[in-house]
A = this chain, B = another copy of it.
Amino acid sequence: MYVTSPVSFFENSQAVCARFINEGNAGHSHISHVPTGHRLFCDGDDANYIYEIMEGVVRTSKLLSDGRRQVLSFGYPGDIAGLSHDHFYHSDCEALSSVTLRLHHKNAFNVSFENEPDFNNELLKYAAAEVNNMQEHFIMLGRKSATEKVASFLITLMDRVGQKDECNTCFELPMCRSDIADFLGLTIETISRTLTKLRAEGVIELPKKQQVLVCKPSALRAMAERN
């Protein structure tokens, strides 16, 4: 189980990164591959890189001392992981699938990147958008019911990575139920029951456990806002 697995179960993140780095550009950034389940960085590590996700999905999370976990985000291609306001990462980050990354090496004593004003501007834009996304997630965590949370979550994924054939939209869930639970502030049982309910109502289908088919997108959207 993720929730209780100690950090030491995985290799040290530095080692993982070193192992899978393929030197791309000699300059400030290079390309790296990380396989499923491996860690990009840990809470407390030196924040030497900013990770641009090019392919695959990562999960960032934070642990409380008693094992409770909050998943902070699922990072899809185009997203950035590892932004830090000081010298350290403040979350764990793990590959949920085989991941291709662009690593931007960071001056260890500066949040921003020297001689890269454009990249800094991009980062600022990204950070501002991230703040906005997180604010939306605040509403989700603070004020929405279980059904609303799950429906909102599915809609976000549908809009972002859904494949539309004729009438339905289909997408993969690279994360397991406990990841979803810890993202939405619920339990795995509640996630499961809610998905079952949505399926029973004909709003979605679950061809495989980690694959969703949205049959009634408008009904799903309605459920994300009320009840």
Residues in B with CB closer than 8 Å to A138 are: 62, 70, 72, 134, 137-138, 141
The verdict on A27 contacting chain B, using a C-beta distance below 8 Å, is no
Tally of this chain's copies: 2
Chain A residues touching B, majority SS: helix
Of residues A69, A130, A135, A137, which shows the largest number of chain B Cβ atoms within 10 Å of its Cβ? A135
Q: How many residues of A contact B (CB 8 A)?
A: 42
Residues in B with CB closer than 8 Å to A137 are: 138
Partner among B84, B142, B225 whose Cβ is within 8 Å of the Cβ of A182: B142
Q: List 5 A-B contacts (CB under 8 A).
A: A70-B135, A127-B128, A134-B135, A138-B141, A141-B141
- What is the interface of chain A, defined by CB distance below 8 A to chain B? 62, 64-66, 68-70, 72, 83-85, 90-91, 111-112, 117, 120-121, 123-125, 127-132, 134-139, 141-143, 182-185, 225-226
